[in-house]
Amino acid sequence: MWEPLFTPFGHNDTDCQESQCVKCLQLEPYHGHINKTAFLAAKFASALFAPGSPAAQTARSWGRLTGLWHDLGKFAPHWQNYLKSKVDPHADELSGKVDHSTAGAILTHGMPHFGDILSYIIAGHHAGLADGVRLFPKGERLHKCVAEWRGQAEAAGIPLQEPIPC
């Protein structure tokens, strides 16, 4: 079943309500994949710490940003066409034929306050977390040419300039 990549944030019934979003909580099929991933990643990350603690709040932010940025490569026009033509949009990714995670890894790499850690998580979100050496051999993956995605992601409302908390 096809699901939209992103549902804009806002206060209308059709918008995503971010941390209070019932559609994300219920994994509504026609609600944005990135929204649901950010919602659940934030929830799971914050649950690792005492409820309401500063560590839980920071972990929630990390999870949210990782979820928002994990599929940025899918905003490239060729990816949008590909997604609309596939029954299982992850089938070719798993077999190594199509890359969509490098864009988010490049965005976060070198950001202040642990951007490299988010880059590592995003780059390995289908392949699994490697030892860190083979994931970015001599920086090759982070210098990889990826299709233009930024304009479409910004137009959709993805917050790309949000700082990573420490």
Mean pLDDT by 10 residues, the chain (166 residues): 86 92 94 96 96 95 95 89 68 60 91 88 76 58 77 89 80
pLDDT of residue 124: 83
pTM, full prediction: 0.80
**Cα–Cα distance, 86 to 56 (Å, whole number):** 37
What are the sequence ranges of the domains in the chain? 18-156
Contacts of 142 (CB under 8 A, 6+ apart): 102, 105, 106, 109, 119, 136
pLDDT of residue 97: 60
pLDDT of residue 138: 61
Q: Give counts: helices (H), strands (E), the chain.
A: 8, 0
Q: Backbone phi, then psi, for 16, in 5-degree steps?
A: -85, 135
pLDDT of residue 162: 82
pLDDT of residue 48: 95
pLDDT of residue 92: 53
